[in-house]
């Protein structure tokens, strides 16, 4: 049997590490899980800290904000293995309540948004039959969190290039102050997560027929609120699930049977979250 190959971006802490551990526990000794991050020392430390698992875990440096880094690793995995079976796009730049959106939005979108579409472009063509490409997003990635006058920026986009262009336009408005004077929300997570889900929807539309025939799932996934130091900067998360607990339904999507109606959607706990407002 061909070894299954899994890749998790942004995997040196929190949910990313939990996803690597969960995959490696549920996969077989013939399989490989790649734990990736942009800092070589942190990647090595994360791999060394993992408990014993069934599948092998290998560390690889991957900076999703660097196009060359993404294309390099995709080419290397294609050469080594001929394809991939599971990809979790989990890399994220986190922001705190005191961060000025105008100062951080360029780096923020480079990681969270353009990093997402880079990973999708590079790794979606490598998916083997039954493969999964799952973008870790948020329940905020729904148009209902955006003023109706702004829905057209991200609704109905038909390509990743169109999503990147819409994201760049929003980024520029934040950076030069126009967003503050308009209807855009001040919390940059909202348009960013909506853009991530728009990217999933656009690529899923392009690939739908072929993915259905090959049993491939392309979706955005919401892990929900987690008890992490970053979330604690914004909310009281003392009663929230740990990253390990939040990873469980995401791992089911990655390893269990595909549901056709999940393709291209934003999923939470195995259920589809509406893209457009329901009322």
Strands 266-268 and 217-221 turn out to be parallel
Whether the predicted pLDDT of 170 surpasses 90: yes
Residue 279 lies in a domain: no
Is the Cα torsion angle 161, 34, 129, 137 positive or negative in sign? negative
Domain residues for the domain of 42 are: 5-273
Residues 177-189 have a mean pLDDT of 93
278 occurs within a structural domain:
no
Under 8 Å between Cβ of 248 and 256: no
Report the pLDDT value the prediction gives residue 96, as an integer from 0 to 100. Answer: 84
- The average confidence (pLDDT) of the chain is 94
- pLDDT of 88 reads 98
More confident: 230 or 98? 98
Alpha helical stretches, state H, 158-242: 160-176, 178-181, 189-214, 229-232
Determine how many CB atoms are found less than 10 A away from the CB of residue 116: 31
Query: What's the total number of domains in the chain?
Result: 1
CATH code of the domain containing 22: 3.40.50.720
Closest CA to 241 of 227, 230, 229: 227
227 — pLDDT class (breaks 50, 70, 90): low
> Hey, what are 99's tokens?
């961060």
Instruction: Please check whether residue 129 is in contact with residue 216, taking contact to mean a CB–CB distance below 8 angstroms.
Output: yes
Cβ-Cβ contacts under 8 Å for 207 (sequence gap 6 or more): 124, 216, 218
Q: What is the pLDDT of residues 54-102, one digit of tens each?
A: 999 999 999 999 999 999 999 999 999 999 999 999 999 988 888 999 9
What's the pLDDT score for residue 216? 98
Place of tokens 């893209």: 275
Distance of CA 51 to the CA centre of its chain: 24
What average pLDDT does the segment 248-273 reach?
96
- State the pLDDT confidence band at 276, using cuts at 50, 70 and 90: very high
The whole-number pLDDT of residue 220 equals 98
Give the Cα separation of 146 and 244 in Å (integer).
Answer: 30
User: What is the spatial distance between Cα 76 and Cα 94, in angstroms, rounded to a whole number?
Assistant: 29
| Domain annotation covers residue 262 | yes
The answer, yes or no, to whether residue 233 has pLDDT greater than 70, is no
> What is the chain's Cα-based Rg?
18
Q: Is residue 142 part of a domain?
A: yes
pTM here? 0.95
Q: Which of the residue ranges 25-34, 111-120, 207-216, 234-243 would you say has the lowest mean pLDDT?
A: 234-243
């Amino acid at each position: 049997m061909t070894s299954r190959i899994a890749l998790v971006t942004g995997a040196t802490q929190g949910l990313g590490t939990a996803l690597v551990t969960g995959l490696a526990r549920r996969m077989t000794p013939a399989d490989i899980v790649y734990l990736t991050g942009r800092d070589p020392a942190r990647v090595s430390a994360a791999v060394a800290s993992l408990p014993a698992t069934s599948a092998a875990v290998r560390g690889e440096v991957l900076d999703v904000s660097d196009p060359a880094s993404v294309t390099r690793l995709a080419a290397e995995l294609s050469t080594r293995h001929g394809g991939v079976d599971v990809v979790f796009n989990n890399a994220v730049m986190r922001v705190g309540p005191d961060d000025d959106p105008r100062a951080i939005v360029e780096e923020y979108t480079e990681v969270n948004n353009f990093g997402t579409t880079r990973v999708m472009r590079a790794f979606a063509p490598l998916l083997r039959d039954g493969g999964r490409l799952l973008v870790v997003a948020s329940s905020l990635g729904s148009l209902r969190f955006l003023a109706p006058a702004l829905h057209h920026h991200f609704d109905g986009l038909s390509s990743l290039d169109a999503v990147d262009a819409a994201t760049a336009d929003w980024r520029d408005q934040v950076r030069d102050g126009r967003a503050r004077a308009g209807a855009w929300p001040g919390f940059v997570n909202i348009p960013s997560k909506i853009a991530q889900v728009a990217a999933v929807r656009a690529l899923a539309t392009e690939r739908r027929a072929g993915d259905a025939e090959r049993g491939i799932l392309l979706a955005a996934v919401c892990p929900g609120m987690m008890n992490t130091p970053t979330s604690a900067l914004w909310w009281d998360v003392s009663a929230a699930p740990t990253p390990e607990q939040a990873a469980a339904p995401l791992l089911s999507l990655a390893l269990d049977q595909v549901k056709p109606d999940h393709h291209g959607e934003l999923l939470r706990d195995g259920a589809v979250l509406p893209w457009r407002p329901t009322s």
